[in-house]
């Protein structure tokens, strides 16, 4: 679908709205026939590396996750914003390949997986301990050689390094070598090698993943380099502008069946007073790519996006791949039952969460709790930054955790006896326009009673730091809860 074909006057377009909103950073894309497949970073959350399918690069459906077993990713050891960074997805010789980095891995982190179909089964990890770094890419030369190009600080400043491997065994076939040092902006990362018209084009991110983030490109006739920088670098950025989408970077290019090209990349939507606050993480955007004198030239897509595509109304007849947990697989502490999802207390911060994808929204959670249980319906940014409604001891209270300090915002008696197994409770968290110059306010309610309001700045990346975004769901601190329904509706 071309941008012209997709544009409708007055409708939101991909120039300012992500095609996969919410905490879905570092997109990598490949095409097989008429089908596009895309993956994202997932950090400490499991199942890891969400998989998406599209026919037009605009309408996306999640079809699964790559990392579903401890043998693939032992998530328990990952800290906040640790774990899985920047995957690359490719299709070669009838097989899907995915390479990523686990930054908690003592060997340096690169892990290689493959599958006969996008739905899997995906293999256990092949580790590449000789290649120390992050953000690995896979590319095959005309003679079948498999090259891994990645970001490393082996001799000081970050740069793109490369080595040939045997993808079936993970054996590194040569000493790693530096192939590109960037343009001088610093923080060279996220390299991808793409073939076009006899050139090997190296697309990378530079400038750090904050407001200075850019897409830079270089090229060579040989995939091993040397690479020359594009005269128009940085090739794509919104830095130092008033554009509503900022922090552009981590672009991956794909050719459409009709011969035109596009790119997926990450960006954020900051809101509020300076410095601007983004809360839903780094999101996936799409851009158009034209080739001028052999160089890729990026322009924001004007494709029309579907409205209300990300509303959720889940009664847990099955466990949708959207549901994730930090550091612990959901099946270890939750199970599907006839009336919903039964969740056991863990006491370790794990829970059942979905990524938030709208700028303003209302999350409604309907649940029962066992006597003596302590249950949270909450928005989580990381372990030290969260806000929600706590049910315990016959009362509902609004609880805010900031910098690890727990604050009671307000409480009140529930309409029903909290802790009675037959009592169904309706908890609500709503993101509404900010009253303080922040990105939003979070209004916390239980059984129709407003309990408190939290300033959304304190659940933003600019305050809490890190690389993830907000998720919403249920955490059982002690006892057991039956989650009957979760609805997340764009406001």
Give tens-digit pLDDT for 168-196: 999 999 999 999 999 999 999 999 999 99
Alpha-carbon distance 368 to 388, whole Å? Answer: 17
As a residue count, the chain comes to: 491
CA–CA–CA angle 263, 114, 221 (5° rounding): 50
At residue 440, the 3 state secondary structure works out as coil
Environment class of residue 9 by beta-carbon count within 10 Å: exposed (0-12), middle (13-18) or buried (19+)? exposed
> Which sequence positions are flagged as catalytic?
26, 189
Residue with tokens 């897509």: 301
pLDDT tens, 262-281?
A: 999 999 999 999 999 999 99
pLDDT for the residue numbered 416: 47
Burial status of residue 196 (CB atoms within 10 A of its CB: 0-12, 13-18, 19 or more): middle
Looking at residues 45-65, what average pLDDT do you find?
98
Share of the chain above pLDDT 90, in %: 90
The contacts of residue 99 (CB under 8 Å, 6+ apart) are 87, 88, 110, 111, 112, 113, 136, 137, 138, 148
3-300 folds as Tachylectin-2; Chain A (2.115.10)
- Cβ atoms within 10 A of the Cβ of 385, count? 23
> pLDDT tens digits, residue range 450-475?
999 999 999 999 999 999 999 999 99
Residue 374 pLDDT exceeds 90: yes
Q: Considering the entire predicted model, what is its pTM?
A: 0.95
Residue 485 pLDDT class (50, 70, 90 cuts): very high
Encode pLDDT of 62-119 as tens digits.
999 999 999 999 999 999 999 999 999 999 999 999 999 999 866 557 999 999 999 9
**Under 8 Å between Cβ of 460 and 409:** no
Top CATH class, 312-490: mainly beta
């Amino acid at each position: 679908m071309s941008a012209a074909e997709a544009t409708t006057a007055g409708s939101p377009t991909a120039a300012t709205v992500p095609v996969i909103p919410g905490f879905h950073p570092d997109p990598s894309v490949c095409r097989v026939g008429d089908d596009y497949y895309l993956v994202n970073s997932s950090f400490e959350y499991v199942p890891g590396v969400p998989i998406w399918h599209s026919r037009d690069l605009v309408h996306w459906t999640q079809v699964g996750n790559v990392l579903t077993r401890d043998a693939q990713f032992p998530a328990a050891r990952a800290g906040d914003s640790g774990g899985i960074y920047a995957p690359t997805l490719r299709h070669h010789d009838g097989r899907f390949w995915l390479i990523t980095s686990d930054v908690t891995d003592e060997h340096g982190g690169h892990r290689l997986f493959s599958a006969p179909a996008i739905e899997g089964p995906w293999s256990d990890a092949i580790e590449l301990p000789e290649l120390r770094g992050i953000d690995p890419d896979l590319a095959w030369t005309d003679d079948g050689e498999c090259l891994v190009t990645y970001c490393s600080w082996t001799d000081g400043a970050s740069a793109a390094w490369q080595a040939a491997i045997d993808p079936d065994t993970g054996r590194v076939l040569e000493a790693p070598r530096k192939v590109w040092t960037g343009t001088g902006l610093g923080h060279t990362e996220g390299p991808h090698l793409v073939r076009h018209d006899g050139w090997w084009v190296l697309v990378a991110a530079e400038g750090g993943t904050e407001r200075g983030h850019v897409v830079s490109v270089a090229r060579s006739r040989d995939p091993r380099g040397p690479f020359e920088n594009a005269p128009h670098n940085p090739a794509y950025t919104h830095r130092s502008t008033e554009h509503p989408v900022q922090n552009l970077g981590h672009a991956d290019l794909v050719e459409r069946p009709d011969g035109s090209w596009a790119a997926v990349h990450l960006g954020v939507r900051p809101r509020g007073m300076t410095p601007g606050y983004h809360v839903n993480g780094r999101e996936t955007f799409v851009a158009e790519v034209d080739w001028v004198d052999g160089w890729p030239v990026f322009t924001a897509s004007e494709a029309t996006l579907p409205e209300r595509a990300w509303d959720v109304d889940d009664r847990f007849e099955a466990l949708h791949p959207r549901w994730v947990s930090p550091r612990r697989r959901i099946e270890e502490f939750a199970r599907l039952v006839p009336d919903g999802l039964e969740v056991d207390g863990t006491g370790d911060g794990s829970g059942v969460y979905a990524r938030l994808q709208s700028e303003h929204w209302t999350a409604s959670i309907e649940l029962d709790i066992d006597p003596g249980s302590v249950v949270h319906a909450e928005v989580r940014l990381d372990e030290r930054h969260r806000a929600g409604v706590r049910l315990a001891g016959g009362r509902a209270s609004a609880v805010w955790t900031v910098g690890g300090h727990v604050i009671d915002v307000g409480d009140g008696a529930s309409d029903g006896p909290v802790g009675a197994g037959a009592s169904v409770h309706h908890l609500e968290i709503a993101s509404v326009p900010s009253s303080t110059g922040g990105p939003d306010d979070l209004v916390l309610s239980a059984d129709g009673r407003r309990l408190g309001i939290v300033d959304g700045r304190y659940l933003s990346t600019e305050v809490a730091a890190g690389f993830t975004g907000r998720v919403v769901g249920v955490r059982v601190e002690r006892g057991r809860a039956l989650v009957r329904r979760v609805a997340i509706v764009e406001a």
